[in-house]
A and B are shown apart, each in its own frame.
Chain A
Amino acid sequence: MSSANNKEYGELEQSMWRRFQDAEAMPDPDVWSRIEHTLVIQENAKYKKRLLFYRQLAAACFVLFILAGSALLMHFKQDQEHATLATAQREQTTINEADLPVTMPAQEQTIAAATPAKVPAQPEVTPSAVETIVSDELIYNAHPADEVKSQEPTYSLGNTIAANSTATIDAPQTTDMGTIAGSTKSSSTVIGGYPETAKGTIARQENYMPASQAIAAVPDSYTSPSAINPLLRRNATLGTYDTDKLATDNVNKPEVALALNTPGADNKQEKTAGSNSRWNLGMAYGSSYFDQNIAIPGYTITPPRIMIVPDPTVARQPPGPSISAESEENMRDARIEFEENTQAAMSFNVDVRTGFRIGKRLKLLSGLGYSQNSSKTKTNYIVEQFIFKPRTNERSKLQPTTVFLPSLHTFTTDSISVTKTKEPFDVDYSYQMLSIPVGLQVEGNLSQKWYWYAMGSTAVNFLMQTAIKAANPEISDVTYRFTDDSPFRRVHFSGNVGLGLGARISDAVSISFGPVFRTFFNSMLTDDNAVATQGRPYTIGLNMGINYKLDQ
């Protein structure tokens, strides 16, 4: 309007401008009440949207809480089961020991690590270094089951055979070597335990063969460290097994630790696996609520009313299709009903993504996804459209629809009838999309097993199919495919954000779950077809994924 002053107006324009400059006309008093009504509906819709968002957020949090709780419970239950199983195995071993004249092989024994283990001598016996046992000389427990059982703390220190496993045992001086050998076997496991053994309560040992015999009776398969595990077996075949060398050799340490199933070995192994993995493959499934956010235009049809005509002899055609007052009223109600009843509905998304680690905590993700988003409404109204054939002037009826569908198009019909049904019926809208997402994921460890992640991505989504299904026999379903002439956009851009927790179930496999929010950057309808102000669709949901490290 800035250029208005620079323009030259003719007499006609100036006269017109003067007449209309301060002209006023009273609108119908009803207009204000209609404005007020619309404002109330808008405010309610805003409130309802906010409420829906908080409800969905609360639901997502609740589901997340339940899932996290279940996962933790399962995790602790598993640990407990492992502990119970271990105890049961130990008990079983104890029972077996009781049956056997010769007791457990060396791998079941505990020998103090690195520094030589000093077994305190009993008060009655003068302590002296009696025997030195090199690690590959095995110690056999000749104790009865009840005694072994009472020594559980010794076992629980771990099944570690120290590399430098020289055990010096102080034993009673007063006993002969044969007895000492037997006693040694006993005292090595009793460790600060049974004075009667030290006292030389031979009566108790009568049930057992002498230690020297016991040693002799033990088959080689029990006594050889190479029998303990394959690694040691390999070493044994390669040459002499030198524990001292093993102890000092740092390179071999992890291998030995791994072979001996020490906890430290697992840590290192996991770290190595984690640091070497750059590529990973993931599959995620997300269930969500999708809000299509399509607004029905407030005005789409014009009733055939007589306007102000300067010359009464000039007949004027009313613009737009003709509609009865009742239908017009129904149309208005149908629009309001659509605004009020249309709800976000259950949707899902499946993604297959490849991840590439670009930093210590950062991962680049891309892949392919498929989603089916749904929305639903309940309506009471059926829209019927009629056209007159140009030459024959015959009136023909188009396929009845709901208010949603005719509102996506500009009417091209001659007349419209909007009827109210006795019972409301459901209308479901579903949008199937193929997505190509690209995003970043940051993750960090919470514990050895658990980790957290936060991700953000953008995606290009191709709307493969749109279906509008009404649960009313009069209304036929409508389906637009990718190639069809559809009022919906074919290509949509969206942004995803999500965070959550993950659990490593093995070196290569992990599972993750957490809430995810996706918003589209454009409306469902194309600009040409959006006769009302359109919102952008969005989804709120829960993402569950499984990841596999490709290069271990």
Chain B
Amino acid sequence: MKIFKASKSEEEKLIEGCIAGKRDMQRLLYDLYAKKMMVVCLRYASTSFEAEDIVQEGFVKVFSNIQNFKRDCPLEFWIRKIIVNTALKHLRQKSLLTVSHETEEVENLSSGNYNLNDYSMDELLGMIQSLAPRYRMVFNLYAIEGYNHKEIAEMLGITEGTSKSQYSRARAILQNMLVNQDKQYQENVISKQ
């Protein structure tokens, strides 16, 4: 599929078309941003199916509310914000169902140099997805979306301290995973030799 990069005026046409409810314009907008948003959703969701559900719900919200887009920020940023909020809402509903892993003890490792380029995207996503929902949310919001702990606390309805502690736990779990992965890789290499 040809990748459609919208210029400013094209983006404006796209928005106007979506406001008018033109299905072809909605499809174009979807094609333009769906892939990026899918990765965002994969980071928050536990499964790719769940991520697709969030994408679906998020884009429906985008199309239903696009007339409210103030144009004071890039369209991609606005869509991303909606998708993130949808994902959070999704996880908030579901978090009551899942067994919390928050009590498990995690060994704190010293920060080291991580070359994540050695890991595939699926591996990285898998590591984030394997975190408990609360940790996953806080980690995504802080490390990747760039929110601070105060903002995260407001978004999730927790205290700033809780956000910080959950983030440090999530970070420690990920570090452990990376160390284990490295060990396993080295063992595999040694056994092959």
Interface residue stretch chosen among B7-15, B144-152, B158-166: B144-152
The contact size tier of chain B is: 35 or more
Known: A308-B48, A310-B177. A1 touches B146 (CB 8 A): yes
Max count, chain B CB within 10 A of own CB: residue among A9, A12, A13, A300: A12
The CA-CA distance from A26 to B181 in the complex, in Å, is 26
The CA-CA distance from A297 to B147 in the complex, in Å, is 28
Q: Are B39 and A411 in contact (CB under 8 A)?
A: no
* Chain B residues engaging chain A, CB cutoff 8 angstroms: 21, 23, 26-27, 30, 34-36, 38-39, 42-43, 46-53, 55-57, 59-60, 63-64, 90, 93-94, 96-99, 111-117, 119, 121-127, 129-130, 133, 142-148, 151, 171, 174-175, 177-178, 180-181, 184
For the A-B complex with A15-B116, A39-B26 known, give 9 more contacts whose Cβ atoms are closer than 8 Å.
A10-B111, A20-B124, A38-B56, A42-B60, A297-B93, A298-B57, A299-B93, A320-B94, A410-B96
* Chain A residues engaging chain B, CB cutoff 8 angstroms: 1, 3-7, 9-13, 15-20, 22-28, 30-32, 34-36, 38-39, 42-43, 297-300, 302-303, 305-311, 314, 316-321, 410-412, 531
The CA-CA distance from A36 to B24 in the complex, in Å, is 11
Q: How far is the CB of A409 from chain B (nearest CB, A)?
A: 10
Q: Are B52 and A23 in contact (CB under 8 A)?
A: no
- Kindly list chain B residues whose C-beta atoms are within 8 Å of the C-beta of A308: 42, 47-48, 122, 125-126, 129
Q: How far is the CB of B97 from chain A (nearest CB, A)?
A: 5
Q: Are A31 and B52 in contact (CB under 8 A)?
A: yes
Instruction: Please list 19 pairs of residues, one from A and one from B, whose beta carbons are closer than 8 Å in the complex, sorted by A's number.
Output: A5-B146, A17-B143, A17-B146, A19-B117, A19-B121, A25-B35, A25-B39, A27-B55, A31-B34, A32-B34, A299-B90, A302-B46, A303-B49, A307-B50, A307-B126, A310-B126, A314-B130, A318-B47, A320-B97
Q: Are A31 and B55 in contact (CB under 8 A)?
A: yes
The CA-CA distance from A35 to B33 in the complex, in Å, is 14
The CA-CA distance from A311 to B181 in the complex, in Å, is 8
Q: Are B114 and A15 in contact (CB under 8 A)?
A: yes
Name the residue on A nearest B58 (C-beta). Answer: A35
Which one of A22, A27, A36, A316 lies within 8 Å of B38 (CB-CB)?
A27
Q: Are B115 and A15 in contact (CB under 8 A)?
A: yes
Q: How far is the CB of B121 from chain A (nearest CB, A)?
A: 6
- The prevalent SS among residues of B at the interface is helix
Q: Are B143 and A16 in contact (CB under 8 A)?
A: yes
Name the residue on A nearest B49 (C-beta). Answer: A305
Which one of A13, A24, A39, A310 lies within 8 Å of B35 (CB-CB)?
A24
Q: How far is the CB of A104 from chain B (nearest CB, A)?
A: 82
- Kindly list chain A residues whose C-beta atoms are within 8 Å of the C-beta of B42: 25, 308
Q: How far is the CB of B161 from chain A (nearest CB, A)?
A: 17
Q: Are A25 and B121 in contact (CB under 8 A)?
A: yes
- Kindly list chain B residues whose C-beta atoms are within 8 Å of the C-beta of A39: 23, 26, 60, 63
The CA-CA distance from A300 to B93 in the complex, in Å, is 8
Q: How far is the CB of B79 from chain A (nearest CB, A)?
A: 13
Q: Are B38 and A3 in contact (CB under 8 A)?
A: no
- Kindly list chain B residues whose C-beta atoms are within 8 Å of the C-beta of A307: 46-48, 50, 126, 129
Q: Are A1 and B145 in contact (CB under 8 A)?
A: yes
- Kindly list chain B residues whose C-beta atoms are within 8 Å of the C-beta of A18: 116
- Kindly list chain A residues whose C-beta atoms are within 8 Å of the C-beta of B46: 302, 307, 318-319
Max count, chain B CB within 10 A of own CB: residue among A11, A19, A20: A20
